[in-house]
Structure formats: C-alpha cells, structure tokens
Structure 1
Amino acid sequence: MAAKKPSLPDDVKRFIINGLAAFDTPSQVSAAVMEEFGLDVARQVVEAHDPTKFAGRNLAPKWREMFEASRTGFIEEATLVPIAHRGVRLRALQRMAQRAEAKGNLPLAAQLHKQAAEEVGNAYTNRRELTGKNGGPIQTEDRTTASLIEEAKRLGIDPATLGLS
C-alpha cells in the first residue's frame, strides 16, 4: 500500500489559492511557493486548488469559498484583459524588481520601483476630471423641442428655419 502524501500547511494552501484567484498560472504559483516557503510543489498539485479547473473539482468547500472571494475581489474592477488591471501590473513589477535585485541589477530594480509608485499614483491613467465654473459641478440643461420653438419665437426667429416645427 502506497504511503499517503503529506498535506500542505494551510498557509501554503491560502498562498496557492490567492495566486490562482489572481490569474497566476500554476507554474507561476509553484515557483512562488518555492520562493516564499522553500517547498517544491508540483504544478499539478497547485492546479488541484483551482475550482475552475477539472483538477480542482474536489476542492474542499472552505477553500472553494476562499477562492471565490479572492477572485471576486481581484476582478471587481478588472477588465477582461488581466494586464489592464493595476493589480496584475503591480504583481508583475514586483516579480521583475525581485529578479533584478537578486541579479544585482539595482538600477533596473530602482526603475521598476519608480514605475510601481507611478502606477499606484495614477500616473498611467487617462482619467480627467472636468468641472464647471469655479470648480463646481457642470451645469446641464435639458431642452425639449417645444421649449426650443418657444425660445426661437421669443427671439423673433422662425422655428422652421432652424429645422424645428
């Protein structure tokens, strides 16, 4: 009879589930587990913690709920393309900065840290806030055809010349 493989500690399972919920691949999560915990966890074992995959169909309800909560939190503001989400970009920048530091490339690491700070500070958004007079709200006016005809008549303009009838 084959010996039963030891179960992963809960903190490692949480780490795996959060990584998968954030759309990291099983290979990326496996490498991250090795780096974070010093444990060599096979890609297939990692994939078994993803309830959206066939391999994760038997995931315990506790972990399934954690995955769903983590995934929902991750994609709440995300677009359909994961890299368009700030969290994905920051995670990638974090990985790159760690690699650059580990290889002694401190100028690149500093550049990546600066880029991450700019990302958090909304330097890479196209968001523009428009305001009305003196910084107040923009005033809008809804006008009906009847009110436009009345205004044209008041100004002595034939409404028909304006395409109003």
Structure 2
Amino acid sequence: MARLKKVEKVFIVRSLAQFMTPTEVVVAIKENFKIDVSPQQVEVYDPTKTAGADLSQELVDLFHEARKKYIEQPIYNIEAANDIVQLRVLSALFIKKQGNTRDAIKLSDQIQKIVKGYYEKKIEITGKDGGAIKTETEHSQRPPMFTPDELANLSPQELSRLAINGKL
C-alpha cells in the first residue's frame, strides 16, 4: 500500500466525486503520479462507501463540494455532450464496423439523427394562433330517476343490471 501525499489524496477524492470508479482512479493515479495503488485503497477516500467512514472531515467536505460543482456544471462543459465529439466517435466506429451491416446501419442512423438535429427538435402544442388549447366540458343527462314504487316492482336481475350500467 503506497503512502499518499495530500495532493494525491485530493486528486483521488475529486475523481471519486466525479463518479469515477475506483479502478478508473487507479489508472488515473498511475498516469498522473506514477504511483501504484489498489482499488481498495482508493475506496477509503469515498465517504459514500463503508470503507470511507473514517475519512477526515476536510476530505469529506472536499468530496461533497466537488460533487456539487460536478453535478451543477453546464452540460456544454461535458466533452461527450457536444455533437462534433459524438460525430467523431461515431464516425470512427462506423469505419470499423462497415463489415457488420447491422451495426453499420445503426451507427449511420445515429449519425444522421445528430446531423439533422433530431434530438434538438421540440414540439409545442398550442391552440389556434398559438393561444391556449380550448377545452370544453360536456354534461351528460342524468339517467331517469326511479320512484320507490317502480324500484320495488323490479326483479333482482333488473336492479343489478341498472346498477351495473350506472342507471341507478
């Protein structure tokens, strides 16, 4: 188990706050700091896990602050949310999958949807000349009322039929 400096701990906490898995954080730590850590060691820095129950308050606060900032960021800050990035990735996949007809058709369809703005179209339903939709309520006539004498003369079958049909 590697002994971590504060900079490395902060990096791990921020990475976990951005919903990276412990395995992804292990790879990122290896790339950025040239240190070998285990996924179990990384989990200790996640206050949402049982392993992170004893994490210092400073790192817990950092985790929650980083997660809040990550969730509240505008969507255009996310690289994969941009159409051009998606098109580049889909285009590379399309070239690789040209031998697989079914996958190539699906990828081609996905690319066309992005290019033609399929996901950006919004449908607004309005009434005449863009106004509110007019609603009308119809009042149906009440079924005929029966007098107590008329009801007394009906058979049990007729009474149940009236009740089932809502005429009673």
TM-score (norm 1): 0.48
Structure with greater Cα Rg: 2
TM-score (norm 2): 0.48
